[in-house]
Each structure stands twice: as structure tokens, then as C-alpha cells.
Amino acid sequence: MDYLTVNVVTPNGIVYDHHARIVVARAIDGEIGILPKHAPIITPLAIDEVKVKRSDADTHVDWIAVNGGVMEVRDNLVSIIADSAERERDIDVTRAERAKMRAERRIEEAKHVENVDELKRATVALHRAINRINVSKHL
């Protein structure tokens, strides 16, 4: 088999399901590229983009904003299970920009009142918003 089957699943259902020649994702400990016949692995993913080079055309690349999760590779099947994920074509950029601004305000407020827990949550929200904005630019 010269291709991978790639599935991205969230609690809301399947976000992505296609065949690919290569998948590139950012694991917690660095970037990882998956080719057909890759050894079985399970790795936690960072909040970042996943690049999928489709098998139907050399120039066809899909981008998915993944907000953490886990990637399992086994028998040419790449399964990504994430809290949330969006394809570049499905991202509402205006909504992502508003989320970015809200997160930036929350960070400033948390710093002002020295609320460490809120600062951590707001920083994650900011990172997620920036990730969505960045992935939307691939369209």
C-alpha cells in the first residue's frame, strides 16, 4: 500500500477522512512526519497545524488546525483524536480574530490580578486562536 488513510476525529464527529502520501504534525516533543508503512506509534500532539499531502494529486495539500490531542499510527492508518480540529476551509477567520482579542485581554487582566490559573487558560486560548488564523492562511 503506497498511501495512508488519515482520520481526524473530535467529540463532534469526523473532521477529516482522506488518503495521503505523507502526514506532518507537531508532537509535544517535536515535528513528526508519517509515511506509508510507518512503525506503530502513539504520540500526544501540540496545538498546531497538521499537513496532509493527499494521494490524489502531488500538489494537493490539506491543512487542519488541531488543538492538541493524540495521534496513533498503525497499519497505514493515521488516527488523530482531538478536543477540536478544523480544516482550513472551515475556519471562520473573523471568529478566530475575536477569540484572539478576547484571549489577549484575558491575559492582561490575569497578569494585573496575578491569577496564574487564568493566565494559563488564556494563554492556551490565545495559542488556539493563533493556530486557527495561521491555518486559515493556507487556503
3-state secondary structure 6-75: EEEEECCEEEEEEEEEEEEEEECCEEEEECCCCCCEEEEEEEEEEEEEECCCCCCEEEEEEEEEEEEEEC
Residue 115: CATH number of its domain: 1.20.5
Range of the domain at 81: 4-88
Share of the chain above pLDDT 70, in %: 99
Same domain, 24 and 70: yes
Same domain, 32 and 14: yes
Dihedral Cα 21, 134, 102, 106, nearest 10 deg? 80
Same domain, 82 and 101: no
- Per residue in 83-95, pLDDT (tens digit) is 999 999 999 999 9
Indicate the pTM of the whole model.
Answer: 0.89
- Per residue in 18-46, pLDDT (tens digit) is 999 999 999 999 999 999 999 999 999 99
User: What is the Cα–Cα distance from 98 to 93, expressed in whole angstroms?
Assistant: 9
First vs last C-alpha separation in the chain: 29
